[in-house]
């Protein structure tokens, strides 16, 4: 599979490590008038995780060694779930690459990959049925955390999918390798999964043969959409998902390097929440030396965010999200129906993914909604 790089990606490379935004702590800001009434709500959490990384991601390791490393990260996840559970959290999101790390080759990542059956084909609770499939240790732990915390849990891991040489797309080594998000319900059932479409220099992974447009249902807040990191800049699947007017929330694991002027993590997350009128749950990894920080729970009305270039520690953000439809009481750009109209007017190329795409970032910028220097106090306030 060829990974198509857009102009945006070249710009990203250019600005790599170019950011030194210094804002500390969780900030909350309002940018549309808040409504004053009682409303149904849910409690969400995102965890900015400082992942424990393999000292040499190019080296070949055994599955046992890979699991030892990943279990250290999963131990931290489990502590966070316990803390979140005490605060009544109903859904928690962990970042991209948080369990296995990054900079692998296709071969060196292999011991880090779990096998994952399609949740559309088998109903499976890895915590309750640990022996049903081999090489599923990470999925088992995540599932058990969801059970223990009695909350929906979203995480990102590497997965492998064996294929046959009769499949023309099947790589020479006989398997697809995907950068995958998984969702577990509060009883540990694997509800759905999403394979990252727009890879960002990730030699270890394959681009899925067809785009996953994934939404999942929750008893507390209805439909969520799901995609990963670089995907946020593209029509498929990010913008396309938001055409479904029932999708009012998005979960977004990311491993994002901040780039000025228009691609700082908080900025793009918040711009997306406002522009599309959705609640956006974004979990980034925390590696300030690589410019990686910036997570948040963003509603069209308010952002709870964390951006910290100083502390070496991870950070848990918990926020209550109102379920009330904000239509009619807030400015046009905060109105979901209005946004859906705007999206319906966009051409959707069916036969070609790389032509005629209007990246989300352009749409948001066209609408004048990306906060930038001089326009917002978000990133430049003390």
Shortest Å distance, C-beta 68 to ligand NAG: 17
Shortest Å distance, C-beta 287 to ligand NAG: 8
Task: Indicate which residues carry an active-site annotation.
Answer: 96, 196, 229
d(CA 262, CA 259): 7
Question: What is the CB neighbour count within 10 angstroms for residue 274?
Answer: 26
Positions in 11-50 near ligand NAG (CB under 6 A) = none
Select the span of 39-47, 247-255, 330-338, 373-381 touching ligand NAG (CB under 6 A): 330-338
**Closest alpha carbon to 202 in 183, 182, 180:** 180
Shortest Å distance, C-beta 382 to ligand NAG: 29
Select the span of 109-117, 171-179, 250-258, 337-345 touching ligand NAG (CB under 6 A): 337-345
Looking only at the bridges linking them, the beta strands covering 175-184 and 152-162 are antiparallel
Shortest Å distance, C-beta 222 to ligand NAG: 13
Mask of contacts with ligand NAG, 108-147, x by CB under 6 A?
----------------------------------------
Q: Is 222 in the site for ligand NAG (CB under 6 A)?
A: no
Positions in 56-75 near ligand NAG (CB under 6 A) = 57
Handedness of CA 283, 287, 288, 292 (dihedral sign): negative
Mask of contacts with ligand NAG, 348-377, x by CB under 6 A?
-------------------x----------
Looking only at the bridges linking them, the beta strands covering 190-195 and 152-162 are unpaired
Mask of contacts with ligand NAG, 187-206, x by CB under 6 A?
x-x-x---------------
Helix (H, G, I), strand (E, B) or coil at 258: coil
The residue from 35, 167, 313, 332 that contacts ligand NAG (CB under 6 A) is: 332
Distance of CA 362 to CAs 57, 244, 245, 342, 368, Å?
Answer: 35, 20, 21, 13, 10
- Of 332 and 356, nearer to ligand NAG (C-beta) is 332
Question: What is the CB neighbour count within 10 angstroms for residue 165?
Answer: 8
Distance of CA 49 to CAs 97, 231, 303, 381, Å?
Answer: 10, 20, 19, 24
Concatenating the DSSP letter of every residue in 116-168 gives ---TTT----TTT-TTSSSS-HHHHHHHHHHHHHTSEEEEEEEEEEE--TTST
- Of 97 and 231, nearer to ligand NAG (C-beta) is 97
Q: Is 338 in the site for ligand NAG (CB under 6 A)?
A: yes
Helices (H), 233-313: 240-241, 265-276
CB 306 within 8 A of CB 299: no
CB 94 within 8 A of CB 155: yes
Shortest Å distance, C-beta 151 to ligand NAG: 12
- Of 338 and 376, nearer to ligand NAG (C-beta) is 338
How far is the first Cα of the chain from the last one, in angstroms, to the nearest whole number?
Answer: 45
Positions in 258-277 near ligand NAG (CB under 6 A) = none
Helix (H, G, I), strand (E, B) or coil at 281: strand
Whether a cis peptide bond, with omega within 30° of 0, leads into 323 is no
- Of 6 and 338, nearer to ligand NAG (C-beta) is 338
Q: Is 100 in the site for ligand NAG (CB under 6 A)?
A: no
- Of 118 and 209, nearer to ligand NAG (C-beta) is 118
- Of 324 and 332, nearer to ligand NAG (C-beta) is 332
Select the span of 41-49, 250-258, 336-344, 355-363 touching ligand NAG (CB under 6 A): 336-344
Looking only at the bridges linking them, the beta strands covering 214-218 and 175-184 are unpaired
Point out which residues bind ligand NAG (CB under 6 A): 53, 57, 103, 185, 187, 189, 191, 332-333, 338, 341-342, 367
């Amino acid at each position: 599979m060829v990974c198509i790089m857009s102009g945006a990606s070249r710009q990203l490379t250019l600005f790599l490590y170019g950011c030194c935004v210094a804002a500390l702590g969780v900030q909350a800001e309002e940018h549309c008038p808040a409504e004053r009434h009682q409303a149904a709500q849910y409690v969400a959490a995102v965890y900015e995780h400082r992942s424990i990384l393999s000292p040499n991601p190019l080296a070949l390791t055994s599955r046992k060694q890979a699991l030892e490393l990943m279990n250290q990260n999963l131990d931290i996840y489990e502590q966070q779930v316990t803390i979140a559970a005490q605060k009544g959290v109903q859904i928690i999101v962990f970042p991209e690459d948080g369990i296995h790390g990054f900079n692998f080759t296709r071969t060196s990542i292999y011991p880090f990959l779990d096998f994952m059956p399609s949740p559309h084909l088998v109903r499976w609770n890895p915590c309750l049925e640990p022996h049903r499939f081999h090489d599923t240790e990470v999925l088992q732990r995540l599932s058990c955390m969801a059970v223990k915390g009695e909350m929906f849990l979203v995480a990102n891991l590497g997965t492998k999918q064996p294929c046959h040489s009769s499949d023309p797309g099947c790589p020479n080594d006989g398997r697809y390798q995907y950068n995958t998000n998984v969702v577990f319900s509060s009883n540990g059932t694997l509800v759905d999964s999403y394979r990252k479409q727009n890879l960002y220099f990730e030699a270890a992974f394959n681009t899925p043969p067809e785009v996953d447009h994934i939404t999942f249902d929750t008893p507390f807040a209805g439909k969520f959409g799901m995609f990963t990191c670089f995907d946020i800049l593209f029509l498929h699947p990010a913008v396309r998902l938001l055409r479904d007017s029932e999708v009012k929330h998005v979960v977004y694991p990311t491993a994002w390097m901040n780039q000025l002027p228009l691609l700082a993590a908080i900025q793009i997350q918040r711009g997306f929440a406002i522009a599309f009128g959705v609640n956006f749950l974004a979990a980034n990894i925390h590696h300030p030396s690589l410019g990686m920080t910036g997570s948040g729970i963003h509603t069209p009305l308010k952002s709870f965010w964390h951006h910290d270039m100083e502390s070496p520690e991870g950070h848990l953000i918990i926020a209550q999200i109102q379920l009330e439809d904000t239509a009619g009481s807030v400015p046009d750009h905060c109105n979901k129906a209005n946004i859906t109209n705007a999206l319906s007017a966009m051409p959707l190329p069916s036969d070609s993914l790389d032509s005629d795409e209007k990246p989300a970032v352009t749409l948001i910028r066209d609408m004048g909604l990306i906060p930038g220097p001089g326009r917002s106090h978000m990133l430049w306030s003390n």
